[in-house]
């Protein structure tokens, strides 16, 4: 009887051992992933502080390592080069800006109301995160070229504005279109973002949308980098007026 019980117990343990081992391994893997995510966040947070203190061109992995209390070799396991750290900061910045624009959009509202809300969100994010905005839209970092990995994140705000444009076209708000299409004027990729192939959206509308889109960032950059000093007294009122004029240019 005892021999039989011992045999049954051994068989049950044999069946449970792979399950227990997998559970332990999963726990260890999850713990490692959590530690890696926490350290990655510490490193990128320290790098953002470096952006504010010394600028993107002077960003140093060694300085970041000192701030988070790690040896340089440990940081290199997370970001093998300064350029990879910059790329991560750029993607994070674009994602944060895109998330702000997406949160501000209210499908179902009038297109002009949505346009103004999204533009205000872009400005508010830039004013709250000036150094990150400068990394995205300020002076290029010497020796750095952003990889294609940054494109999806960089396109998020444009996708929101394109959705507003497409909804305006479907609502019949845009002026009559000629149907002109010249890929050398507006690329196919840009056209796909700016309302797609709706018949009410031709190159005239696309060019105006591109003009307005670039003017949003130009207006924000002028304010953020001090170029409106002595020219604009009330930044809020000026921005709203400028964005309203741009909406009218598009036809919203």
Q: pLDDT for 28-53, tens place per residue? A: 568 777 777 888 888 899 899 998 89
In angstroms, the CA 45 to CA 115 distance is: 31
What is the predicted pLDDT for the residue at 18? 57
Architecture of domain 81-250: Orthogonal Bundle (1.10)
What is the predicted pLDDT for the residue at 121? 98
Q: pLDDT for 169-215, tens place per residue? A: 888 888 766 666 677 788 888 888 887 777 778 888 888 999 999 99
- 18 vs 128, higher pLDDT: 128
DSSP, residue by residue, 75-114: HHHH-SSHHHHHHHHHHHHHHHHHHHHHHH--BTB-HHHH
- Which among 152, 121, 154 has a CA at the least distance from the CA of 136? 154
Collapsing DSSP states into helix, strand and coil, what is residue 57? helix
Helices 2-54 & 130-137 angle (0-180, nearest 10) = 80
Residue 101 backbone phi and psi in degrees, to 5: -65, -45
Tokens, residue 11? 């068989």
Which residues of the chain form CATH 1.10.357.10? 81-250
Q: pLDDT above 90 covers what percent of the chain?
A: 49
Task: Tell me the H-state helices in the chain.
Answer: 2-54, 61-68, 72-78, 82-104, 111-128, 130-137, 151-154, 156-170, 188-193, 203-224, 235-250
Answer yes or no: is pLDDT of 10 > 60: no
What is the predicted pLDDT for the residue at 237? 97
Q: pLDDT for 101-149, tens place per residue? A: 999 999 999 999 999 999 999 999 999 999 999 999 998 899 899 999 9
Tokens, residue 30? 């999850």
**pTM, full prediction:** 0.82
In angstroms, the CA 216 to CA 45 distance is: 28
- The CATH class of the 22-80 domain is mainly alpha
Task: State the chain's mean pLDDT as an integer.
Answer: 85
What is the predicted pLDDT for the residue at 20? 45
pLDDT band at 15 (very low <50, low <70, confident <90, very high): low
Collapsing DSSP states into helix, strand and coil, what is residue 59? coil
In angstroms, the CA 166 to CA 238 distance is: 27
User: Is the separation of the CB atoms in 163 and 201 below 8 Å?
Assistant: no
Which residues of the chain form CATH 1.10.10? 22-80
- 178 vs 21, higher pLDDT: 178
pLDDT band at 95 (very low <50, low <70, confident <90, very high): very high
What is the predicted pLDDT for the residue at 195? 74
């Amino acid at each position: 009887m005892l021999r039989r019980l011992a045999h049954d117990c051994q068989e049950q343990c044999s069946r449970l051992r792979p399950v227990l081992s997998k559970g332990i391994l999963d726990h260890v893997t999850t713990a490692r992933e959590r530690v890696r995510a926490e350290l990655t966040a510490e490193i990128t947070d320290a790098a953002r502080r470096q952006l504010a203190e010394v600028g993107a061109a002077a960003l140093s992995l060694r300085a970041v390592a000192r701030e988070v209390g790690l040896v340089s070799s440990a940081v290199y396991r997370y970001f093998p080069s300064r350029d990879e750290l910059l790329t991560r900061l750029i993607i994070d910045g674009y994602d944060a800006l895109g998330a702000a624009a997406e949160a501000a959009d209210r499908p179902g509202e009038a297109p002009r109301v949505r346009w103004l809300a999204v533009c205000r969100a872009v400005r508010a994010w830039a004013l709250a995160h000036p150094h990150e905005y400068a990394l995205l839209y300020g002076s290029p970092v010497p020796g750095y070229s952003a990889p294609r990995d940054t494109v999806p994140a960089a396109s998020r705000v444009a996708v929101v504005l394109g959705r507003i444009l497409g909804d305006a076209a479907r609502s019949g708000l845009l002026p009559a279109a000629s149907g002109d299409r010249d890929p050398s004027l507006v690329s196919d990729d840009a056209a796909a973002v700016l309302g797609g192939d709706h018949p009410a959206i031709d190159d005239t509308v696309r060019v105006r949308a591109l003009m307005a889109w670039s003017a949003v960032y130009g207006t924000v950059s002028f304010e953020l980098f001090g170029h409106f000093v002595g020219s604009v007294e009330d930044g809020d009122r000026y921005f709203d007026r400028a964005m309203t004029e741009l909406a009218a240019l598009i036809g919203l």
